[in-house]
């Protein structure tokens, strides 16, 4: 099963960018990565910016980021199953320590830079 990680990226005070969360999904030997402006809540969408692919090292890494770009720490990690995927969206089922459920990552604009991320927690049936 492919893996995912959700990192909290704390940037230095002098940075022009704000601290944020990085959602990373393993695919093709890299981590497909989105910068989330807020952490998602169940069934509420948040805006995300597509970032360049990252190295698989970030699946396990926590600590300082090179070139003085702050620090990262894991909020959650685990595996995922792809339910549907094309160039405009990615629907996955997360199985992490904190998040279990479906996650939809979908394009918001023609440039494919801005995306919407919506999480739906798994519900247990009895």
Question: Tens digit of pLDDT for each residue in 35-86?
Answer: 998 998 888 999 999 999 999 999 999 999 988 899 999 999 999 999 999 9
pLDDT at 114: 92
Task: Report how far residue 116's alpha carbon sits from residue 38's, in angstroms, rounded to the nearest whole number.
Answer: 11
Task: Report how far residue 95's alpha carbon sits from residue 91's, in angstroms, rounded to the nearest whole number.
Answer: 13
Q: Are strands 100-107 and 114-121 parallel, antiparallel or unpaired?
A: antiparallel
* 20-38 per-position pLDDT tens digit: 999 999 999 999 999 998 9
Beta bridge partners of 83: none
Task: Report how far residue 42's alpha carbon sits from residue 98's, in angstroms, rounded to the nearest whole number.
Answer: 12
Token digits of residue 124: 């247990």
Contact 103, 117 (CB under 8 A): yes
């Amino acid at each position: 099963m492919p893996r995912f990680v959700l990192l909290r990226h704390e940037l230095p005070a002098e940075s022009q960018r704000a601290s944020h969360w990085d959602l990373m999904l393993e695919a093709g030997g890299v981590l497909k990565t989105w910068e989330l402006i807020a952490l998602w809540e169940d069934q509420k969408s948040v805006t995300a910016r597509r970032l360049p692919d990252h190295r698989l090292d970030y699946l396990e890494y926590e600590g300082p980021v090179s070139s003085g770009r702050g620090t990262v720490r894991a909020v959650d990690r685990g595996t995922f199953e792809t339910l549907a995927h094309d160039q405009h969206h990615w629907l996955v089922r997360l199985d992490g320590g904190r998040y279990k459920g479906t996650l939809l990552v979908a394009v918001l604009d023609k440039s494919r830079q801005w995306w919407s991320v919506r999480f739906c927690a798994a519900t247990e049936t009895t």
